[in-house]
C-alpha cells in the first residue's frame, strides 16, 4: 500500500511539471473572446439582458411579489400578513434603506454596457449591430426608469467602468432627476429610429420602435407630473423644475401620438357585445392581440410558467393555494356603476341590518370591475364564487327562521336551476377570512388545474389603452381638453361606460386607476401625483364580510379593517431611501431628504 502511495506522489509530481495536462479549461464556460464573434452567443447574451430586466415583480417565495405593487399601492393585500407585499405596505421606510422596494440594479446596467461596448467592437454588419444595441439600450432605459421612479436622481453610468478609471467616476455623485428622465427620452428617440415597428412571428417579444415610444410616453408623463406637483430639492437630485412640466407633457403627448397614428395597435374589442368577457380576454388572448405593445412572454410547457392563477383563483376551485390577492374596499369604490354614478358604497349602511342584492352593489358596476374582481356569485369555471360566512333561512319543515355557518350544509329547498347543487350555508372558509373581493384580472378561466408555476399568460408591459391614458393626461395638463376627452372616451367606449363630456383632474386619475388596476401602476401614479400622503397615510383600508339571507336572496354586509396596522406614507416617501449601506459604500452619494 505504501509503495502505491509513493508511486502516485511521484507521478503527480512529474505531471504537475508538465503544464498541458493539469492546465485544464472548464468545460462549462465560454471564453470571453468568443462571444462577440458568434451571432448565437450575442443573441444568448442579449436574452440574458431581457431576463435581467424586471418588467414586473415576480420574485419572492412562490411569486407572492406579483402582489407587491398592488399591495403598496392600496389596491389589494395578500392573504397572509407574513407575505412581503403586506409587510411592504405597512412599513415606515427609514434611513436603513428601501427594503422590499429596493431596486439598485447596477449589475444589470453594467451587463448592458458590456454588451453595447462588445457589440461596437464586433465585425458584423451595421444593421445587425445597431438592432442589437438598440434593444439593449431599451432595456437599460427601462431599468433606469425603474430606479429613478424609486429614488429620484441616481448615478447615470453608460459605459463599462474599469477599476483604473478616475476616482470621481468610480465613486459617482448622483445625477439630477431631470438628467435621468432626459436620458430616457433621448435614448428612446434614438432607438425608435432603429427598431422595427413590428416583428415577425419568430422575433415576437423583442423591444420594437413602439415599445421604445411607449416607455418614453410613460416616462415623460412621470417627469411632467413630478415637475408639476413636486418640489426641487438638493439641487435637482430630487425633483424637476416646474417650468419643465409642459416640455415633458408635450413629449409624452408626441410619443403617444406616434403610436396612435401608427395604425399598428388598437383597443382589444373581439367581443364587443360582452364587455366583461372582452375586458377579461384582453389579458388572456395571445392570438394577434392588437392592444399589446410589449409583453414579457411565459409558457409553462417550456418550463417558464408563473403562479398568478394558482395564487389568484378563489377557494372552491382548482387551485391548491388560492385566494391570495384580496381587493381592498376603498379601491373597489373607485369603480363606478355602468350608468356613470359613483360606486363608492355608503359605509353607514354596512351595519349588519341593511340587505343588499349582489347586483345592486357589484353586478351593475363598470364592466372592468366585473372583469377585474371576483365578488360574491361571480360565475367561474361553470360554478360560482361564494364569500358568505353564514346563511339565514326559513326551515320549511318547521317554518322557523334559522341560520347556519356549516360549509357543507345545503339550505333545504335551495336546489334550483341557478344553484344545481343547492345553496351552501357558508362559502369555502378561505373566502370568508379576508376582504371578500379578489383580483381576477389576468386569471385564465380555461387553465385547469390552476397549479403552481403552470400559468403561461404573458405579462403585458405596455398596452394601447395606457398610451391613450398617457395622452389624455398629458393633454389635460396642457389644457388640450378636446384631445384629452377624445382619448379617454375611446377607453371608456371600449369598456361600455358612458362618454365623458367634460373632464376634471379626478376623472383623469380615476380612469387610469380603474383601467390599469392591478397592473403595477397605481402606487407609482399616486406618488408622481404627490397625493400618496392623502391616500396611503394613516389609514387602515376596509373589507367586507357577507352574510346571506336566503329568504330575501340578499346580503347583509359588515365593514371591518382589512389591515392590522395603519399605513404610513410620509412626504419623505415620495423618494425611497438609498439607505445607510449605499452611503457607506460611496461617500459621494447624498441621501434623499427626510431620512
Applying CB under 8 A, the residues found at the interface with another protein are 25-26, 28-32, 35, 41, 43-48, 50-51, 80-82, 86-87, 90-92, 94-96, 104, 106-111, 113-114, 155, 157, 161, 163, 170-172, 201-206, 297-299, 302-304, 538, 561, 563-566, 568, 570, 580, 582, 584-587
Tell me whether residue 13 or residue 502 sits nearer to another protein (CB atom): 13
CB of residue 20 to another protein, shortest distance in Å? 17
- 3-state SS, residue 293: strand
CB of residue 534 to another protein, shortest distance in Å? 15
Tell me whether residue 242 or residue 580 sits nearer to another protein (CB atom): 580
40: which 3 cell numbers?
A: 448565437
Tell me whether residue 303 or residue 399 sits nearer to another protein (CB atom): 303
Q: Quote the CA–CA distance of 258 and 481 in Å, as a whole number.
A: 19
Q: Where does residue 384 fall: left (phi above 0), alpha (psi -120 to 50 degrees), or beta otherwise?
A: beta
CB of residue 164 to another protein, shortest distance in Å? 11
CB of residue 167 to another protein, shortest distance in Å? 10
- Report the candidate in 44, 194, 1, 69 with the shortest Cα–Cα distance to residue 525: 69
Tell me whether residue 169 or residue 418 sits nearer to another protein (CB atom): 169
Tell me whether residue 482 or residue 566 sits nearer to another protein (CB atom): 566
Tell me whether residue 295 or residue 425 sits nearer to another protein (CB atom): 295
CB of residue 470 to another protein, shortest distance in Å? 26
543: which 3 cell numbers?
A: 373589507
Tell me whether residue 92 or residue 479 sits nearer to another protein (CB atom): 92
Q: Quote the CA–CA distance of 76 and 542 in Å, as a whole number.
A: 11
- 3-state SS, residue 462: strand
CB of residue 297 to another protein, shortest distance in Å? 4
Q: What is each CA distance from 214 to 22, 134, 281, 474, in whole angstroms?
A: 54, 15, 22, 14
Q: What angle do CA 306, 203, 30 make, to 5 degrees?
A: 80
Tell me whether residue 552 or residue 561 sits nearer to another protein (CB atom): 561
- Report the candidate in 131, 140, 458 with the shortest Cα–Cα distance to residue 293: 458
268: which 3 cell numbers?
A: 382589444
User: According to the 3-state scheme, what is the secondary structure of 366-377?
Assistant: CHHHHHHEECCC
Measured in degrees and rounded to the nearest 5, phi and psi for residue 485 equal -60, -45
User: How distant is the alpha carbon of residue 186 from its chain centre?
Assistant: 25
Specify the residue for cell string 390577492: 325
CB of residue 53 to another protein, shortest distance in Å? 10
Specify the residue for cell string 378561505: 430
CB of residue 370 to another protein, shortest distance in Å? 29
Residue 151: how many CA atoms within 13 Å on its side-chain side? Answer: 29
Amino acid at each position: 500500500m505504501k509503495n502505491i502511495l509513493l508511486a502516485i506522489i511521484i507521478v503527480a509530481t512529474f505531471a504537475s511539471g508538465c503544464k498541458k495536462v493539469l492546465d485544464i479549461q472548464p468545460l462549462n464556460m465560454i471564453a470571453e473572446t468568443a462571444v462577440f464573434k458568434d451571432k448565437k452567443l450575442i443573441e444568448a447574451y442579449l436574452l440574458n439582458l431581457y431576463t435581467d430586466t424586471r418588467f414586473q415583480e415576480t420574485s419572492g417565495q412562490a411569486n407572492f411579489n406579483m402582489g407587491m405593487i398592488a399591495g403598496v399601492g392600496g389596491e389589494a393585500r395578500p392573504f397572509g400578513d407574513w407575505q412581503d407585499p403586506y409587510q411592504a405596505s405597512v412599513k415606515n421606510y427609514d434611513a436603513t434603506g428601501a427594503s422590499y422596494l429596493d431596486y439598485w440594479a447596477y449589475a444589470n446596467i453594467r451587463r448592458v454596457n458590456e454588451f453595447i461596448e462588445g457589440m461596437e467592437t464586433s465585425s458584423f454588419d451595421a444593421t445587425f449591430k445597431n438592432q442589437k444595441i438598440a434593444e439593449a439600450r431599451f432595456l437599460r432605459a427601462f431599468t433606469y426608469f425603474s430606479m429613478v421612479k424609486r429614488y429620484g436622481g441616481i448615478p447615470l453610468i453608460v459605459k463599462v467602468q474599469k477599476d483604473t478609471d478616475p476616482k470621481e467616476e468610480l465613486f459617482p455623485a448622483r445625477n439630477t432627476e431631470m438628467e435621468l428622465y432626459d436620458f430616457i427620452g433621448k435614448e428612446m428617440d434614438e432607438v425608435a429610429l432603429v427598431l422595427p415597428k413590428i416583428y415577425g412571428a419568430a422575433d415576437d417579444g423583442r423591444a420594437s420602435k413602439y415599445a421604445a415610444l411607449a416607455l418614453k410616453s410613460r416616462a415623460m408623463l412621470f417627469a411632467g407630473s413630478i415637475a408639476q406637483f413636486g418640489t426641487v430639492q438638493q439641487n435637482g437630485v430630487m425633483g424637476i423644475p416646474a417650468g419643465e412640466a409642459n416640455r415633458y407633457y408635450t413629449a409624452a403627448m408626441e410619443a403617444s401620438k406616434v403610436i396612435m397614428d401608427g395604425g399598428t395597435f388598437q383597443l382589444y374589442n373581439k367581443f364587443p357585445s360582452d364587455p366583461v368577457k372582452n375586458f377579461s380576454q384582453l389579458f388572456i388572448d395571445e392570438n394577434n392581440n392588437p392592444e399589446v405593445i410589449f409583453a414579457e412572454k411565459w409558457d409553462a410547457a417550456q418550463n417558464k410558467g408563473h403562479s398568478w392563477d394558482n395564487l389568484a383563483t378563489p377557494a372552491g376551485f382548482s387551485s391548491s393555494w388560492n385566494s391570495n390577492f384580496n381587493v381592498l374596499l376603498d379601491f373597489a369604490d373607485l369603480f363606478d356603476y355602468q350608468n356613470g354614478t359613483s360606486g363608492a358604497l355608503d359605509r353607514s349602511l354596512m351595519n349588519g341590518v341593511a340587505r343588499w342584492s349582489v347586483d345592486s352593489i357589484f353586478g351593475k358596476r363598470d364592466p372592468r370591475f366585473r372583469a377585474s374582481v371576483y365578488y360574491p356569485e361571480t360565475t367561474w369555471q361553470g360554478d360560482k364564487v361564494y364569500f358568505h360566512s353564514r346563511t339565514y333561512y326559513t326551515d320549511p319543515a318547521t317554518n322557523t327562521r334559522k341560520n347556519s355557518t356549516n360549509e357543507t350544509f345545503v339550505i333545504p329547498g335551495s336546489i334550483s336551476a341557478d344553484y344545481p347543487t343547492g345553496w351552501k350555508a357558508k362559502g369555502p372558509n378561505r373566502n370568508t377570512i379576508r376582504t371578500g373581493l379578489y383580483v381576477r384580472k389576468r386569471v385564465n378561466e380555461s387553465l385547469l388545474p390552476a397549479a403552481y408555476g403552470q400559468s403561461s399568460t404573458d405579462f403585458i408591459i405596455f398596452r394601447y389603452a395606457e398610451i391613450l391614458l398617457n395622452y389624455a393626461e398629458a393633454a389635460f395638463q396642457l389644457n388640450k381638453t378636446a384631445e384629452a376627452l377624445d382619448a379617454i372616451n375611446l377607453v371608456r367606449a371600449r369598456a361600455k361606460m358612458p362618454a365623458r363630456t367634460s373632464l376634471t383632474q379626478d376623472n383623469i386619475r380615476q380612469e387610469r386607476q380603474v383601467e390599469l388596476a392591478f397592473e403595477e401602476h397605481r402606487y407609482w401614479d399616486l406618488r408622481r401625483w404627490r397625493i400618496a400622503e392623502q391616500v396611503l397615510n394613516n389609514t387602515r383600508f376596509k373589507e367586507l364580510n357577507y352574510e346571506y339571507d336566503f329568504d330575501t336572496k340578499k346580503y347583509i354586509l359588515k365593514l371591518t379593517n382589512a389591515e392590522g396596522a395603519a399605513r404610513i406614507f410620509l412626504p419623505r416617501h415620495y423618494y425611497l431611501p438609498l439607505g445607510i449601506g449605499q452611503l457607506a459604500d460611496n461617500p459621494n452619494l447624498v441621501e434623499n431628504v427626510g431620512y
